[in-house]
Structure 1
Amino acid sequence: MIGRITGTLLETQPPWLVVDVNGVGYEMEASMTTLVALPGAGERVSLYTHLTVRDDAHLLYAFAREQERALFRALIKVNGIGPKLALAILSGMDEDAFIRCVMEDDVKALTRLPGVGKKTAERLVIEMRDRFPHWQHPDSLPLEGNTQPSTPVSGKTALADAEAALVSLGYKPTEASRMLSGLEDEGSTEAMIKAALARRMAG
């Protein structure tokens, strides 16, 4: 089991990132919560990881905080929640927000997440309620190196990358385009996606 990786961030292409560890590039998938916390390319990072072994692939998932990984592992134990949907949930809200939704039976907020219908939201509330007493006060664990946002790319490129990332999280292309409308000035791809997700969760 690969539990943690420390190395140099080579590139991010949401929802993917690549970290070089002694000449070996580890490709990992991450939530937008983790991706927006990453420093720029060339900086050193230390990430918690979860390895999923399938017949056709070994998939590695990366997390900025141990609590986010713990929540991911709990989510994929819920019937009907796979790694892709778990990452979509973690991209739309952080651990504290998710805990509040579950403890307050806020099904409506959960259904704003891509791929989460009313029945799935109700299942999450029921099955997750007793699974995270030790996450009530998650501590932020800073990434190593510079925590400044990634260097912005051209507006059109960043917008296209942001739209592709939202689609990969489960949003329909038309919905992703609508979520990003007017956010061209946010700068980096990660900043656009974060702003789009915040807009979607707000309503």
Structure 2
Amino acid sequence: MIGLLRGTLLEKLPPDILLDVNGVGYEVQLPMTSFYELPEVNQAVTLFTHFVVREDAQLLFGFITRQERSLFRILIKANGVGPKLACTILSGMSAAQFVQAVMYEDITAMVKMPGVGKKTAERLVVELKDKLKDLDVAHASTPAAGQGPSIESAPSEQTILAPQLSSKEEAISALVALGYKPAQAEKSVKGVFSEDASSEQLIRDALKSMV
């Protein structure tokens, strides 16, 4: 099990990144709540990780905080929730917001995320309410002491050129990767688009508009 990676951030193509760890490039998918907290390219970052092995793929998911990874691991044990849906849920809600939605049985907020229908939301409330009541997410936006992202300069020659997408195209692509239908993703991004907004800001605003 790969539980933690510390290295240089080479690419940011939300919701995926490429992380250089001592010369080895790891492709990691992050929920957008963690993606927003990343430093700039060519800076150092530490991620808590969860490694998923399937017959057709090996997937690595990354999280800025230990609490968010703990919630992800609880989610993927629930009936009908795989890693991709768990990542989508944690992109639409922070760990604290999701725990609050479960504890207060806020089905309306949960069904606004792709892949979460009314029956799934109701099942998550029943299955997770007891498991989440002791999960400490009060400081889930703050990295664990000594384990969060450390920001340091990295040699510029380590830069890898990513495909040059516009901020709008990158935001739409990220939402589709998270499970939203292309038409829904495009409509949501267009609704919050501004010329000076970064792709991360467009994704954040688009997700907020859909919740």
Q: TM-score, normalised by structure 2?
A: 0.87
Identity of aligned residues (%): 46
Return the letter of the residue paired with 1:193.
I
Say if 2:174 is the partner of 1:173. no
CA pair 145-176 structure 1, distance change in 2 beyond 3 A = same
Say if 2:131 is the partner of 1:125. no
Instruction: Report the 3-state secondary structure (helix = DSSP H, G, I; strand = E; otherwise coil) of the residue aligned with 1:135.
Output: coil
Report what 1:59 is aligned to. Answer: 59
After superposition, residues 1-203 of structure 1 pair within 5 angstroms as 1-132=1-132, 133-139=134-140, 140-141=142-143, 142-145=148-151, 157-181=166-190, 182-185=192-195, 187-201=197-211
Report what 1:152 is aligned to. Answer: none
Report what 1:149 is aligned to. Answer: none
Instruction: Report the 3-state secondary structure (helix = DSSP H, G, I; strand = E; otherwise coil) of the residue aligned with 1:38.
Output: coil
Cα distance in 2 between the residues matched to 1:60 and 1:49: 7
Cα distance in 1 between the residues matched to 2:135 and 2:128: 13
Moved beyond 6 Å, runs of 4+: none
Structure 2 unmatched ranges of 5 or more: 153-163
Q: Residue 67 of structure 2 contacts residue 137 of structure 2 at CA under 8 Å; is this kept in 1?
A: no
Q: Once superposed, what is the RMSD of the aligned Cα atoms? A: 1.7
Cα-to-partner distance string for 1:89-145 (whole Å, 9 max, x where unaligned): 000000110011011110000001111100001011111101121325334114211
Cα distance in 1 between the residues matched to 2:196 and 2:30: 21
Cα distance in 2 between the residues matched to 1:167 and 1:156: 15
Return the letter of the residue paired with 2:139.
P
Cα distance in 1 between the residues matched to 2:195 and 2:97: 27
Cα distance in 2 between the residues matched to 1:175 and 1:94: 21
Q: Residue 186 of structure 1 contacts residue 192 of structure 1 at CA under 8 Å; is this kept in 2?
A: no
Q: TM-score, normalised by structure 1?
A: 0.91
Q: Residue 88 of structure 2 contacts residue 179 of structure 2 at CA under 8 Å; is this kept in 1?
A: yes
Cα distance in 2 between the residues matched to 1:25 and 1:136: 30
Instruction: Report the 3-state secondary structure (helix = DSSP H, G, I; strand = E; otherwise coil) of the residue aligned with 2:183.
Output: helix
Cα-to-partner distance string for 1:173-198 (whole Å, 9 max, x where unaligned): 11111111242335221111011111
